[in-house]
Amino acid sequence: PLFVLFGSSIVQFSYSNEGWGAILAHAYARKADIILRGYAGWNSRRALEVLDKVFPKDAAVQPSLVIVYFGGNDSTEPHPSGLGPHVPLPEYVENMKKIAMHLKGLSENTHVMFLSTPPVNEEQIPESIRKCGRTNEGCRIYSEACLKLCQEVDIKCIDLWTAIQQRDDWKTVCFTDGIHLSSEGSKLVGEEILKALAEEPSLCWRSLPTEFDEDSVYDPVDEEGKNINISN
């Protein structure tokens, strides 16, 4: 099976700092191919521009699962020049709906999961980035909009804004710079994703077959001379 992680920096950096992408890759080793399609700094508007290129409808193999995250950059405050990553909330919702519909239409077996906008620790954000107007309240608004949309279009959504803040020490342990996830933050995200995937037998890592797990004469041998299949 092919799993694709699609989103902005939360996705692009998901293999660093013991990230949640690496957690998934470890859990699904020899069970699924996990492909990274993360683009730091992107918003939902820019994602739409490449959607057909990243997920062509005529691809020979379509993904079994696509995990999508956009929203943090969209939620930044608008710049007077009209430039920058901000996307007004109604447009963000419409963009995410278009992404959802495109992905759901790839194949009958393609599952889609959205990650809502996680919180930020405003005090930890570097001054140069803080000027862009990234606030925890803005993240909450876009997170709730994403959750509401997913209910309407019947897509599983992980409420990261709420899940991360359930930790009493979330502000001090979950981020590297107030925005991007530390190993502890990623561990929480990975657990939430694996928990959600466990509810779908065709996607749960425990139920997927292991590649080349048949017994072999080349397996390690115990003291009695019997082969031990370590794949199982």
What is the pLDDT, as a whole number, of residue 73?
96
pLDDT in tens, 20-52: 999 999 999 999 999 999 999 999 999 999 999
pLDDT in tens, 142-151: 999 999 999 9
> Alpha-carbon distance 123 to 142, whole Å?
20
Chain CA centroid to CA 27, Å: 15
Pairing of strands 65-69, 111-115: parallel
- Residues 176, 144, 75, 88, Cα dihedral to 10°: 170
> Alpha-carbon distance 179 to 124, whole Å?
8
Q: Which of 162, 128, 124, 130 is nearest to 143 (CA)?
A: 162
Q: In what order do the strands lie in the sheet with 156-158?
A: 33-38, 2-7, 65-69, 111-115, 156-158
What domains are there in the chain, each with its CATH number?
Answer: 2-199 (3.40.50.1110)
The whole model's pTM is what?
A: 0.94
What is the pLDDT, as a whole number, of residue 49?
97
What is the pLDDT, as a whole number, of residue 208?
95
What tokens appear for 55 in the block? Answer: 């997920």
What is the pLDDT, as a whole number, of residue 11?
98
What is the pLDDT, as a whole number, of residue 149?
98
Q: Would you please indicate which residues are annotated as catalytic (active-site) residues?
A: 8, 177, 180
> Alpha-carbon distance 71 to 120, whole Å?
12
Indicate if the alpha-carbon torsion angle 159, 161, 167, 173 is positive or negative: positive
CB atoms closer than 10 angstroms to residue 190? 21
What is the pLDDT, as a whole number, of residue 82?
86
Q: DSSP for 80-130, please give it.
A: TTS-SS---HHHHHHHHHHHHHHHHTS-TT-EEEEEPPPP--TTTS-HHHH
Residues of the chain with pLDDT under 70: none
